[in-house]
Amino acid sequence: MLVIAPLILLPWPIMFIGFFGTAFATAAYGVALVREESGPVGTVLAVTALVLTAINTEDERALLTIPLGLAWLAVGAIALLRRWPAPIRARGDPR
């Protein structure tokens, strides 16, 4: 995604490749999350990335980008919560 995303900044034919490449790379990452963690967030990320291919920035279809952003926020929140340090256990606690 780091290689494909900057292509969106280039002129028309290359921007098209960058946009769809980013959408399909996001969908592939969502599928990888599903296979690795079996959680619903990967499924939501993959589906919303595929829905992203139907956007049009000139009308209300631009709102289709909102679920993708929310799915990425959920991926980040889950990653952050998994790395959050465990509470310090009291002395003498055998667990």
Residue 30 burial class via C-beta count within 10 angstroms: exposed 0-12, middle 13-18, buried 19 and up: buried
Q: What is the pTM for the complete model shown? A: 0.79
- Which residues form the domain of 20? 5-83
Residue 44, domain member (yes or no): yes
Residue 88, domain member (yes or no): no
Residue 68, domain member (yes or no): yes
34 contacts 43 by C-beta, under 8 angstroms: yes
Residue 9, domain member (yes or no): yes
Residue 15, domain member (yes or no): yes
Residue 27, domain member (yes or no): yes
Residue 29, domain member (yes or no): yes
Name residues whose C-beta falls within 8 Å of residue 74's C-beta, 6 or more positions apart in sequence.
41, 44, 45
What do you get for the CA distance between the two ends of the chain, in Å?
Answer: 42
Q: What pLDDT tens digit does each residue of the chain (95 aa) get?
A: 889 999 999 998 999 999 999 999 999 999 999 999 878 999 999 999 999 999 988 999 999 999 999 999 999 998 888 887 766 555 555 55
Residue 13, domain member (yes or no): yes
User: Structurally, how many domains does the chain consist of?
Assistant: 1
